Amino acid sequence: MKTNDFLAELKRRNVYKVAVAYAVVGWLLVQVATQVFPFLEIPNWVVRLVIALVAIGFPIALVIAWAFEATPEGIKRTEVADARQEHSRGKTWIYVVIIGAAISAALFFVGRYTAGNNASAARTELPAKSIAVLPFENLSSDKENSYFADGIQDEILTKLATIADLKVISRTSTEKYKSKPEDLRTVSQQLGVANVLEGSVQKAGDKVRVNVQLIDARADSHLWAKSYDGDAKDIFGVESEVSQQVADALQAKLSPTEAKTIATAPTTDAAAYDLYLKAESEFRAAQSSLRPDSFQQADNWYRQAIARDPSFALAIARLAQCQLNAHWFIKPLSTERLEEIKSNIEHALSIAPNLAEAHIAFGLFYYFGRRAYPEALAEFARAIELQPNNSLALQYSGYVHRRQGQWQQTLNELNHALEQDPRNANLAANLANTYNILRMHDEAQRLAKRAVNLDPHEVVGMVGWINSILMRNGDAEEALRVLATFPADTKLTTNTTVPEFSSMIGYRAWVFAFARKFDAAVQVWDNSSDEGRQLAARSAIHVIANDFTAAQSDAEKARPLLERRLQDRPDDTAALTELAWVYLGLARNADAVATARRATEIMPPSRDVLAGNGLRTGLAEVEAHAGMVPEAITIVRELLLGPGGFVSIETLKHDPVWEPLRSDPQFQQLLTIREHVGP
C-alpha cells in the first residue's frame, strides 16, 4: 500500500479522529491526576500509574480504531462495516475534543499560575525550623542489631529535642514510617514539618558505619548528606556531630546550655550503652503490650548497663521510669520499693542535674507513686524547660492536670502534645477519653477513630470510640458493630483505679451487657488469668441480669481472694469496688455499700478528681442495687451537673446498671436536666 493510500485509509477508518480525541482526553486525565490528586492526598504512585496507563492505552486505541468501526448498529469489524456500507458520520468526537481541550487548558493554567502560590503557601505553612528524624535503616547482617539503629536515631532525636528554636516531632510518630518513604511531601504534611533526617546504620563487631541525609521534604531536595565510619565506642561523637550539623543547616540558634547538652555523651562505656539500647527497645515494647515479662527484661538490661557504669545517669532515670510504669500498669510496688526508686532518681540527678529524663522520672514518682500532683507538675515543667520538644513530659503534665480537674489546661497541653507527636495513637486516644469525660462526644469520637486508624490494636482508642457512642446516644447496636471491627484477641480490660461498673467488667463485656446480651458478657471472662477479677466481673454481670443464683456461685469463690488481696493492700480501690459487687452477689447489701464508700474515702475527688468521680459513680451503682435509691440519685445528680463525669443522660436511660432507679420519679426528673458539657 502506498503512503498516500495508507494515510487515506487511516482517515477513512477514523484513526485520526480517535488519535486526536484520545490525546485530548488522555491529557485531561493527566491534568486531573497531577493537579487534583495531591489536594485529595492521593499517593504519588497513583498519579504515576494514571500517566503510564494513558501512555500504554494510546497505541491500543489506534489498533482498535483500525480494526473496528462504530456503526449505528453498534461496534463491528471494519471489513464487515465496509461490506454493508455502515459507517458512523457522527460529530460526537468533535464535542469530546472541544470540551476536553477546554477543561485541560483550564486545569493547566490554574496549575501553572497557582502552583507557585501553593508551593509558597506550603513552605510558609510548615515552619522552616522543623524536623522529623525517621527510623534509621538497619543494614547489619545480623537483623537483631535493629535495636542499635533505633537507639542511634533516638539519641539524635533526643539531642535535637533540647533545642528550643526547633520543632522536633516525637519518636512515637516517626516510628510509624519506613526508613526511606517514597512520598516525603505527604510525610511532611502528616507530621507538620519541613525537613526530615534519614539514615542507615551498619554494625559489624566493634565497627559502625552511619549514613545520614537531611532533606527538605517540601521540595524533596537534599540539604546535605554524610557518612561516618569508626568504632562503636565513637558513636557518641557521631550522634553529637549529626545533631550539631542539623541545627546548623536549619539555622537554629543554640544557647550555651543546649550546645553543651548536644556535645555530652551519656556514658563513656560502649558496652554499657549497647545494653542500654537493648533495654530501651524492650521498654518501648513493654509500654505497647503491657506484658510483665517485657518490663522485667527491660529492667534487667538497664541494671546490667548501670552495673558496668554506675554513673550512667540516663540509664538510672530510664530504669526508674520502667519500674514506675510497671507499678502503675502491672502490679503495685511496696512503699519500700518506691522509696528505693526515689533514692535512685535522686542519685541520677546528683550526677546530671539537668537531665530531662531524670526529672520526668521524678515526676512519675510523684504522679504514679505518691499522687503528689503539685510536685509532679514541677518536675515535668523542669523537664520541658530543659527539653522544649519533650512531648512525653507535656503529656504527663496534661494527665496530672486532668486528675486535678483543670480541664482547660488539660485540653491545651494534650492538644499541644499531639501537635508534637501527631501519629501517637495512645495520646489521641487519651485525649478522646478526656473529651468523653467532658461530654464532648463528637470531638471524642473523631479522635478515637483517629487513634484506632493509627493503631488498630489501640485499646484506649476503642474504649473512647465505644464510650462516645453509648454516652452520646445509647445506641448499643452501633457500639456492637464498632466493637466487631476490633481484634477479638485484644482485651478491652485495663488495670484501673477508677473501677465503676463498665471498667470493672471490661469494656467488651460492658457493650454486651449494655445490649442485654448477658451470656456473651460473661463469656468475655472465660479465659482470664486474674481469677479474683474474673469472678467478681462475672458475679457483677449476673447481678444486673437478675441471675442471683449464678451471681452467688461466683461471688462465694471471689470473696476470699479479694479479702486476702485487701489484707496486703488495704487502699486498693479496684479490689474494694470488685468486693462491693461480690457482696451484692451474696445479698450482703450493707457490706457492699460500706465497701464501695470506703473506696471513695480513700480516693475522694478532692485528692483526685478523675479517680474520685469514677469511684463515686461506682458507689452510686452499688447503692442503686442495694436499694439505697435516694442516695444513688443524689450522687448521679451531682455528677451530671459538673464536669468530669462518668455518666450521661443517655447512659442513665439505657445502661442496665441503672435499672433499679428507673421507676423512681426523682430519677425520671434527672433525665430532663441539662447535663454539664465542656470544661
Cell numbers standing for residue 337? 520499693
Provide the β-strand partners of residue 195: 131, 216
Q: What is the pLDDT of residue 51?
A: 74
Residue 33, classed as helix, strand or coil, is: helix
Cell numbers standing for residue 450? 483517629
Q: Report which of 479, 539, 537 is spatially closest to residue 511, judged by C-alpha positions.
A: 479
Q: What is the pLDDT of residue 118?
A: 43
Q: Find how far residue 620's CA is from the centre of its chain.
A: 33
What is the CATH code of the structural domain delimited by 491-670? Answer: 1.25.40
Q: What is the pLDDT of residue 527?
A: 84
Domain ranges of the chain: 3-125, 130-262, 271-423, 491-670
Residue 409 burial by Cβ neighbours in a 10 Å radius (0-12, 13-18, 19+): middle
Q: What is the pLDDT of residue 115?
A: 42
Q: Report which of 569, 565, 516, 504 is spatially closest to residue 545, judged by C-alpha positions.
A: 516
Q: Which CATH superfamily is domain 271-423 in?
A: Tetratricopeptide repeat domain (1.25.40.10)
Cell numbers standing for residue 632? 444513688
CA atoms of 422 and 451, how far apart (whole Å) = 10
Beta-carbon neighbour count of residue 529 at 10 Å?
Answer: 6
CA atoms of 231 and 205, how far apart (whole Å) = 9
CB 449 within 8 A of CB 465: yes
CA atoms of 204 and 218, how far apart (whole Å) = 35
Provide the β-strand partners of residue 201: 138, 210
Farthest CA pair distance, the chain? 108
What is the CATH code of the structural domain delimited by 130-262? Answer: 3.40.50.10610
Phi, psi (degrees; rounded to nearest 5) at 210: -125, 125
Q: What is the pLDDT of residue 114?
A: 47
Q: Where are the alpha helices (DSSP H) in 309-355?
A: 313-329, 335-351
CB 131 within 8 A of CB 213: no
Residue 429, classed as helix, strand or coil, is: helix
Q: Report which of 148, 396, 383, 457 is spatially closest to residue 280, judged by C-alpha positions.
A: 148
Q: What is the pLDDT of residue 476?
A: 96
Percent of all residues in the chain with a pLDDT value above 90, rounded to a whole number: 52
Give me the sign of the Cα torsion angle 57, 60, 62, 65: negative
Cell numbers standing for residue 11? 482517515
Q: What is the pLDDT of residue 117?
A: 44
Residue 298, classed as helix, strand or coil, is: helix
CA atoms of 477 and 662, how far apart (whole Å) = 21
Q: What is the pLDDT of residue 494?
A: 59
Query: For 333, which DSSP code?
Result: P
Q: What is the pLDDT of residue 67?
A: 61
Segment 297-318, tens digit of pLDDT: 999 999 999 999 999 999 999 9
Helix H or strand E encompassing 371 = none
CA atoms of 519 and 544, how far apart (whole Å) = 12
Q: What is the pLDDT of residue 320?
A: 98
Q: What is the pLDDT of residue 383?
A: 96
For 547, residues 6+ apart whose C-beta sits below 8 A from its C-beta are: 518
C-alpha distances out from residue 437 to 348, 371, 415, 419, 541, Å: 37, 20, 16, 22, 24
Provide the β-strand partners of residue 198: 213
Q: What is the pLDDT of residue 113?
A: 46
Place of cell 430532663: 672
> Which portions of the chain are predicted below pLDDT 70?
1-22, 24-28, 30-48, 50, 54, 61-124, 142-143, 493-498
Q: What is the pLDDT of residue 5?
A: 56
Q: What is the pLDDT of residue 358?
A: 97
Q: What is the pLDDT of residue 85?
A: 55
Segment 137-188, tens digit of pLDDT: 888 876 677 888 888 888 888 888 889 999 998 888 887 777 777 778 888 8
Residue 672 burial by Cβ neighbours in a 10 Å radius (0-12, 13-18, 19+): exposed
Task: Please check whether the two domains, 271-423 and 491-670, share a CATH topology.
Answer: yes
pTM over cut 0.75: yes
Residue 215, classed as helix, strand or coil, is: strand
Q: What is the pLDDT of residue 91?
A: 54
Instruction: Express the helix, strand and coil content of the chain in percent, nearest 5 each.
Output: 70, 5, 25
Q: Report which of 552, 547, 577 is spatially closest to residue 565, judged by C-alpha positions.
A: 577
